[in-house]
Structure 1
Amino acid sequence: MVNFLLERTAPLPPDEAWRRLTQWPRHGEVVPLTRVTVETAEPTGVGTVFVARSGVGPLTFDDRMEVTLWRPPVSGAGGLCRLEKRGRVVTGWAEIEVGPGPGGRSRVVWREELGFRFLPGVMDPVVRRVAGYVFGRAVNRLLRRG
């Protein structure tokens, strides 16, 4: 199990940064070899379930997530979303925090605890490095694209 933290400042108001980061199917557009399917009806809120399926051919795995905290930014206050990973292979949680930043920008903090069942702990440094790169790139792309 690895923990990592990403911090970004985006030239967007917090509500727009939040919208871009929490449109779950868009994550599949920015994470290689991944497709995201939302299994529950809109709008997103506590109880929303979605699955990120990653891989190629028979080498695929599902990252099934459920929204357990949903507090969008309002009236200058920051927002927080917590996702619990409920899959058979991928475990852990993620938190997306969006709030006001300097100069009318948004401050984004992405915290995650990520684990893969059946993967030995000796692989944690590799998982941390790859996850930081992949998720960092995904967050950057999500924030850039409207």
Structure 2
Amino acid sequence: MPDLVLPVAVEAPPEQVWAALTDWRSQGRWMPATDVEVVSAHDEGVGVRLAARTGVPLPWRRGRHLGVLDTMVVTEWDPPRRVVVQHTGRIVRGPGIFELTPAPHGTDLVWTERLWLPLGLLGVVGWPLARPFVLLGFRISLRRFARYAAAQAG
């Protein structure tokens, strides 16, 4: 089970970073080629269910992508310090952990993904090839998130 641990410094207070991070519907503003839908009756706290679609939009099918459906449920909620989402899809599985710590510049955010590789042996063998591209996507997302969160009014 590989772990990806990615830190970023955000020039905003933890409460502002938390609000930007847990505004699930706005994740597409900082996560490339992704749309997120809240599929539960509530959008805060443990039990929130999410569906993220990442990929290339299909212009002839509004709201549809050629890519990956990532379903999730929030399993931990400790504002403004920690939120954990459990990925429950066919391809993306395992916990995603976001931890916020106050810092002199604002907030240090650490995003950890504990991936449960799909496809059995093929997933294990393919992971070293896919890892650099997955890391690049996460790093781009984090840089965009830091700018997005810092720009949000608290």
**TM-score, length-normalised on structure 1?**
0.85
Residues matched between the structures, number:
140
Residue 39 of structure 1: CA displacement?
0.5
CA distance in 2, matches of 1:33, 1:116: 22
Q: Which amino acid aligns with 2:74?
A: V
Structure 1 residues 70-85: aligned runs within 5 Å:
70-73=77-80, 79-85=81-87
Query: Residue 120 of structure 1: SS of its match in structure 2?
Result: helix
Tell me if structure 2 keeps the 8 A contact 1:3–1:113: yes
What fraction of aligned residue pairs are identical, expressed as a percent? 33
CA offset digits 1:52-108 (Å, max 9, x no partner): 1122357422110100000002xxxxx11111011122111110001111x251111
CA offset digits 1:1-35 (Å, max 9, x no partner): 43110111111101111111221122223333321
Aligned counterpart, 1:109: 110
Could you tell me which runs of 5 or more consecutive residues in structure 1 were left unpaired when the two chains were aligned. 74-78
Tell me if structure 2 keeps the 8 A contact 1:81–1:97: yes
Q: Which amino acid aligns with 2:109?
A: V
Tell me if structure 2 keeps the 8 A contact 1:10–1:107: yes
Q: Which amino acid aligns with 2:6?
A: L
Tell me if structure 1 keeps the 8 A contact 2:76–2:83: yes
Residue 122 of structure 1: CA displacement?
1.5
Aligned counterpart, 2:35: 35
Could you tell me which runs of 5 or more consecutive residues in structure 2 were left unpaired when the two chains were aligned. 59-64
Aligned counterpart, 1:68: 75
1:17 aligns with 2:24: no
Alpha-carbon RMSD: 1.9
CA distance in 2, matches of 1:46, 1:29: 23
Q: Which amino acid aligns with 2:140?
A: R
Moved more, 115-124 or 8-17: 115-124
Tell me if structure 1 keeps the 8 A contact 2:82–2:98: yes
Aligned counterpart, 2:134: 131
Aligned counterpart, 1:94: 96
CA distance in 2, matches of 1:68, 1:100: 23
Tell me if structure 1 keeps the 8 A contact 2:11–2:106: yes
